[in-house]
Structure 1
Amino acid sequence: MPKVKDICRHVRTKNAGPFWVTVDFFYKDFDTYKEYKDSEDLGPGLFARLFGTDPTSIKRIPVDSLHMVKVSYVRPNAQAWKGERDMHSGQSFVRLLDIDVRPSTSGSAV
């Protein structure tokens, strides 16, 4: 089964304000994007498990023209809280790279 790092040419995470983080999945090409953009393996359960966020608050925005999907989730704690280890969330994407991803099934993952 392919991993995120196999189907995406670039994955990035970034701060989206003091309460949100955004993840951008840039797929290798349009065919790969179509095949995996709605994969349940990249759904709310993954973000809840890896980042401790509320799965009901996740926003998912596919961008066909860029062959990418943007996922935003609520931080479990506000930016710069006492235990913060990655204030700008620039390294959070690393946890996603080795996630196994199955092709999309009918319907959307989020």
Structure 2
Amino acid sequence: MARLRDFAKTLRSKNCDPFNTTFDVFFDNEDAYRQVRDSGRISAEVLAPLYGLTIDQVLGIYFLDNALAFKVTMVKDIASSDPACKDVFGAHQHLMLADLEIPEE
């Protein structure tokens, strides 16, 4: 089984505020984008356990067909302002998403 990183051109994460992280995933190939989008793997039910969250903590999943991209916003497990936060800018959170298995056609 392939991983999301095998399909995507760019994967990145960042804080959208101190309490939420947003993930941006871009593709340079329409077939790869559609395969990932249509796989059913980009859902709150799949992503929440990956990050140790509940389904309702996945705040939104947005597919942008005209940009060959999708965006996911999730609650952070530790706020950026908390001294225990090890990724203050949220820039390393996409690594688990990159390893997400995507079924091949």
Per the TM superposition, whether the score is higher than 0.5 is yes
User: Any stretches of 5+ residues in structure 1 without a counterpart?
Assistant: 105-110
The size of the alignment, in residue pairs, is 104
Q: Contact 2:48–2:57 (CA<8 Å) still a contact in 1?
A: no
Shift of 1:86: 0.3
Mean Cα deviation higher: 68-77 or 46-55: 46-55
Task: Tell me which moved more, 54-63 or 6-15.
Answer: 54-63
CA deviation profile, 1:7-61 (whole Å, cap 9, x unmatched): 1011000101011100111123112112211433232234322322231232011
Give the deviation of 1:72 after TM superposition.
0.4
Q: Does 1:34 align with 2:39?
A: no
- Equivalences for 1:6-85 in 2 at 5 Å? 6-58=6-58, 59-85=60-86
SS of residue in 1 equivalent to 2:17: coil
Does the 8 Å contact 2:2/2:104 carry over to 1? no
Coordinate RMSD, CA, aligned? 1.9
Q: For residue 37 of structure 1, what is the amino acid of its counterpart?
A: R
Letter in structure 2 aligned against 1:10: T
The Cα of 1:103 is off from its aligned counterpart by: 6.0
Unaligned runs of 5+ in 2: none
Whichever structure has more strand as a proportion of its residues is 2
Q: Structure 2 length as normaliser, TM-score?
A: 0.84
CA distance in 2, matches of 1:38, 1:11: 18
User: In structure 1, what is the Cα distance between the partners aligned to 2:48 and 2:94?
Assistant: 14
Preserved CA contact (<8 Å) 2:78 2:84: no
The TM-score with structure 1 as length reference comes to 0.81
